[in-house]
Amino acid sequence: MTDFLVTKMRRRDAVSAEEAAVLHGIRGTHRRHAAGADLILAGDRPNESTLLLSGFCGRLGLLRDGGRQFTEINVPGDFVDLHSLLLKTMDHGVVALTDCEVVAVPHADLRRLTEAHPHLARLLWLETVIDGAIHRQWLVMMGRQDALGRMAHLVCEMAVRLEAAGVADRLAFELPLTQAVLADVLGLSPVHVNRTLMALRSMGILEWKSGQVTILDWDGLADVAEFDPAYLRLRRDPV
């Protein structure tokens, strides 16, 4: 159940057979969540961290009027709330963007794992550091890029992260998000989302139909996005 996590970690550092066996030996409670279900609510004090096995989740903040803003999309192989091990009280929520399968790993087990295997502890710490890098990149994207740039950047990031976890090919993958969800991700209206997708399609660099994304021109898309994957830290660089 940790195949995607191990694959992703091996993009960043060597993971020994023993360490992989430890990760593959992680046990927890399997759960399935329907699209739209809350996995975590702001104010929760979880005693477990949730590893996403399939589907997509989103971290979000909510306003009193019901407005919401997603701050990251989680892909298979991500711990959606690993930071809850130290944060204790959650300051944001996590919602299933599609039907999802997860495993909830008790914090007590994660503490034992990190105490017995310092290198794995550093790799898990790196996961939370990269979460912070993604949030910083999204701040720049939301604050300074136009709608085309935001959409292109989101697609580039999803493509690279899914490929890194061994979930999908970079140029063709499933991302079955509604235009309403994309609006809350990108800070646009659903109508603006639709126009932006039409513009990228007319440029001949992207197709997104029925949840299936096909990148026709990676260089062109990355150029529109001003995308530099360095923040995702996908090179081999031991920790």
What string of DSSP letters covers 145-182?
A: --HHHHHHHHHHHHHHHHHHTTSSBTTEEE----HHHH
Q: What is the pLDDT of residue 97?
A: 97
148: which 2 tokens?
Answer: 């085309």
User: Looking at the predicted structure, is the pLDDT value of residue 52 above 80?
Assistant: yes
At 22 the pLDDT is: 95
Mean residue pLDDT across the chain: 96
> Looking at residue 42, what is its pLDDT?
93
In this predicted structure, the answer to whether residue 1 has a pLDDT above a threshold of 90 is: no
The stretch 60-81 carries a mean pLDDT of 94
Region 28-32: mean pLDDT is: 96
Q: Please check the confidence at residue 190 and state whether its pLDDT lies above 90.
A: yes
% of the chain exceeding 90 in pLDDT: 94
Q: What is the mean pLDDT of residues 21-48?
A: 95
Q: What is the pTM of this model?
A: 0.95
Instruction: Tell me: pLDDT of 46 over 90.
Output: yes
Cα gap 118→46, rounded to integer Å: 24
Rounded Cα distance between 42 and 91, Å, is: 5
**Domains of the chain, with CATH numbers?**
3-136 (2.60.120.10), 147-232 (1.10.10.10)
Most confidently modeled range among 64-73, 214-223, 230-239 = 214-223
Question: What was the pLDDT predicted at 198?
Answer: 97
> Which pLDDT score is estimated for 208?
96
In angstroms, the CA 8 to CA 160 distance is 11
Mean pLDDT for 113-140 is: 96
What pLDDT band is residue 66 in, cutting at 50, 70 and 90?
confident
